[in-house]
A = this chain, B = another copy of it.
Amino acid sequence: MNAEIISVGTELLLGQVVNLDTAIVAQELSGLGINLLYSAVVGDNVERLRHAVDTALSRSDLLIMTGGLGPTTDDLTKETTAACAGKRLVLHQESLARIQNYFNEKHVSENQEKQAWLPEGCHVFQNDNGTAPGCAFQAQGGCTVIMLPGPPSELTPMLKNYVVPYLKQGQEQVIVSHNVHIYGRGEAPVAQMMDDLMDGENPTLAPYAKEGECYLRVTARARTVEEADALCQPLIEEIRRRLGDFVYSVDVETLEELVVAKLREQGKTLATAESCTGGLLSKRLTDVPGSSEVFHMGVVTYANQAKEDLLSVSHETLERYGAVSEETAREMAEGMVRRSGSSLGIGITGIAGPEGGTPEKPVGLIYIALSDGEHTWVTKRSPIGRTKSREWHRHCAASQALDMVRRYLLDMPVVAN
Contacts and interface: CB of A to CB of B under 8 A. Distances in A.
Interface of A: 12-20, 22-30, 36-43, 45, 48, 153, 206, 208-209, 272, 274, 276-283, 285-287, 289-292, 295-303, 305-306, 309-310, 340, 353-355, 389-391
Given A280-B283, A285-B278, A14 B27 contact: yes
Contact of A279 (B280, B309, B390): B280
Contact of A15 (B27, B38, B41): B27
B38 A41 contact: yes
Q: Which of A26, A39, A279 has the most CB of B within 10 A?
A: A279
Contacts of A37: 13, 43, 45, 48
Given A296-B303, A300-B286, A302-B292, A41 B40 contact: yes
Contact of A22 (B27, B41, B391): B41
A391 B287 contact: yes
Contacts of A22: 12, 15, 18-19, 41
A299 B302 contact: no
Given A15-B24, A20-B18, A39-B12, A297 B283 contact: no
A29 to B, nearest CB: 7
A75 to B, nearest CB: 16
A26 B17 CA distance: 10
A299 B289 contact: no
Contact of A306 (B45, B153, B340): B340
Nearest to A7: B39
A290 B23 contact: no
A256 B262 CA distance: 34
Contacts of A279: 272, 274, 279-283, 286, 298, 300
A151 to B, nearest CB: 11
A353 B355 CA distance: 37
Contacts of A36: 13-14
A209 to B, nearest CB: 8
A64 B90 CA distance: 41
A58 to B, nearest CB: 13
Contact of A289 (B17, B38, B355): B355
A283 B299 CA distance: 12
Closest CB pairs A-B (n = 8): A278-B286, A15-B27, A15-B26, A279-B279, A279-B282, A296-B303, A298-B300, A297-B306
A36 B12 CA distance: 10
Contacts of A208: 16
Given A279-B286, A306-B340, 7 more contacts: A13-B26, A13-B39, A14-B26, A15-B22, A15-B23, A297-B306, A298-B299
Contacts of A310: 297, 299, 310
Contact of A23 (B19, B28, B206): B19
Given A27-B14, A41-B40, A340-B306, A355 B290 contact: yes
Contacts of A355: 289-290
Given A41-B22, A281-B279, A282-B279, A354 B289 contact: yes
A287 B393 CA distance: 11
Contacts of A272: 279, 300
Contact of A353 (B206, B289, B296): B289
A13 B283 CA distance: 32
